[in-house]
Amino acid sequence: MSATVSIGSAGFSRSLKKNQGIVVVIALLVLLLVFGGFVSDRFRTTNNVMNILEQSTGLALVSLGQTLTILTGGIDLSVGSMISLLSTLTSGMIGGDASMVAPVIAGILLLGLAIGLVNGLLIIWLKVHPLIVTLGTGAVLQGLVLLYSLGPAGKVPRGFTYLAYGKVLGIPIGAVVVVVLFALVGAFLTYFRLGRYIYAVGDDDAGARLMGLPRAKVILVVYGFCGFCCALTAIYLTARFGVGQPYTGLNYTLASITPVVVGGTLLTGGKGGVLGTLLGVYLISLLNNVLNFMDVSTHYQLIAQGLIVIVAVSIYVEKRRRV
């Protein structure tokens, strides 16, 4: 229960001590940054740094929710379908009408939350591992979105793309939202009782039950929040692409797990945190950017990502054995 990791300014040095995985990720980030500088002069431009931040937004939002489910020892494999559904509904219901933007965004956020809560309820009632439950709901959601539309649905007003491409003081809006959200969730995990219970459930589910911790509440909050994060990702992607499509979220199911494990959160739950995930997201975006600058083909980019996951996980497993 004591294994807390946080992102708050006070907790930053503490989190470094508690989770040495983060040190590895930071080292890799610095290494890539230095290396990228050698590859091209243009790599170091502000423009390119903002690019990387902007490109990391979608992955960051969905990985935030995924971090919490994994911290409880669970996982959410429905995120990809959820994003596809919510994104398609966003552009489909807005239908190019500017006056619909606000109500649809509100509705989509609520719907994301609701779908997440359904995932949570099923996990609690059925007492089946979240992997199976969310695999099932994911398939259901994918079916629903295809019933709604076989291709791109509706459209958004031109100004809507500002959410993805707009900048505040030269920094992409999405990147700012990501940092603020991660800080809030990090603080929640450290300073709120319910936040600490998330670690407790993941650390020792049976123990948490015996101690009378509100396990059901934790599960509901975590999966509900994960659904909410999927809604944010869906809205962001709709802005980035100008339309929602039934397969928009496809890659995000597995992609959302990568930064979580790279950032040092154990798949078995109870250990890790959101700071590691955020750094993991930046690492992956930076890696793709550097490989692009090096003219490395897409196929090698996939291989590099895969190897990083394997290496990261093996490092953390090793650590755990020593403990």
Partner 1 sequence: MTNITRRFAMMLAGAAGLAALAAPAFAQDSKFYSGAPRTYLYNPDTEVCFKDTSEYKKDGPYTIGFSNAGLGDSWRVVMLHSLQKAAAGHKDQIGKLIITDAGHDDAKQVADMQDLISRGVDLLIVSANTQQALDPAVQQAMAQGIPVVMMDRRVASDDFVTFVTASDAMMGRLFAQWIAEKLNGKGNVIMLAGQAGSSPSENREKPAREVFAQYPGIKVLETVYSDWSPVKGKQVMQAMIAKYGKDINAVWSAHGLQTPGSIEAFIEAGYKDGEIPPHTTADVNGPLQMAIKHKVPMLEVGYPPAMGGISIEVALQVLAGAPVPCIYTINSQIAVSEGDETQSIQTPLRLTDMVVPDGPADMLITGGMGQDYDPKTYKVDYPQ
Q: Which stretch binds partner 1 (CB under 8 A): 27-35, 51-59, 74-82, 121-129?
A: 51-59
Q: With binding defined as CB under 8 A, does residue 190 bind partner 1?
A: no
Amino acid at 226: C
Kindly determine how many residues on this chain lie close enough to bind partner 1 according to the rule CB under 8 A.
Answer: 35
SS3 of 20-44: CHHHHHHHHHHHHHHHHHHHCHHHH
- Least separation in angstroms between CB 284 and partner 1: 11
Helices 79-94 and 215-241, packing angle to 10 deg: 50
- Separate counts of helices (H) and strands (E) for the chain: 15, 2
- Least separation in angstroms between CB 87 and partner 1: 10
Q: Which stretch binds partner 1 (CB under 8 A): 25-33, 50-58, 112-120, 199-207?
A: 50-58
**What contacts 228, CB < 8 A, 6 or more positions away?**
65, 109, 112, 113, 116
Shorter beta-carbon distance to partner 1: residue 6 or 288: 288
Q: With binding defined as CB under 8 A, does residue 96 bind partner 1?
A: no
Cβ-contact 153, 244 below 8 angstroms: yes
Burial of residue 127 (number of CB atoms within 10 Å: 0-12, 13-18, 19+): exposed
Per-residue binder mask for partner 1 (CB under 8 A), 3-42, x = binder:
-------------------------------------x-x
Instruction: Decide: helix, strand or coil at residue 272.
Output: coil
Per-residue binder mask for partner 1 (CB under 8 A), 214-253, x = binder:
-----------------------x-xxxxx-x--x--x--
| Residue choice 9, 20, 297, 314 for contact with partner 1 (CB under 8 A) | 297
**What contacts 145, CB < 8 A, 6 or more positions away?**
81, 84, 85, 88, 89, 246
Shorter beta-carbon distance to partner 1: residue 104 or 201: 104
Q: Angle at the Cα of 163 (from 148 to 7), degrees rounded to 5?
A: 105
**What contacts 318, CB < 8 A, 6 or more positions away?**
none
| Residue choice 12, 17, 30, 45 for contact with partner 1 (CB under 8 A) | 45
Shorter beta-carbon distance to partner 1: residue 299 or 322: 299
Residue 219, token pair as written in the block: 């599960």
Q: With binding defined as CB under 8 A, does residue 319 bind partner 1?
A: no
Q: Using CB under 8 A, which residues numbered 152 to 181 contact partner 1?
A: 152, 155, 161, 164-165
Q: With binding defined as CB under 8 A, does residue 292 bind partner 1?
A: yes
Q: With binding defined as CB under 8 A, does residue 66 bind partner 1?
A: no
Q: With binding defined as CB under 8 A, does residue 293 bind partner 1?
A: yes
Pairwise CA distance, residues 259 & 284, whole Å: 7
| Residue choice 288, 305, 308, 316 for contact with partner 1 (CB under 8 A) | 288
Q: Using CB under 8 A, which residues numbered 100 to 129 contact partner 1?
A: none
| Residue choice 6, 15, 19, 55 for contact with partner 1 (CB under 8 A) | 55
Pairwise CA distance, residues 54 & 16, whole Å: 26
Residue 172 per-residue DSSP state = E
Task: Give the length of the chain.
Answer: 323
- Least separation in angstroms between CB 240 and partner 1: 6
Pairwise CA distance, residues 296 & 299, whole Å: 8
| Residue choice 295, 318, 321, 323 for contact with partner 1 (CB under 8 A) | 295
Binding site for partner 1 (CB under 8 A): 40, 42-43, 45, 47-48, 51, 54-55, 58, 150-152, 155, 161, 164-165, 237, 239-243, 245, 248, 251, 288-289, 292-293, 295, 297-299, 302
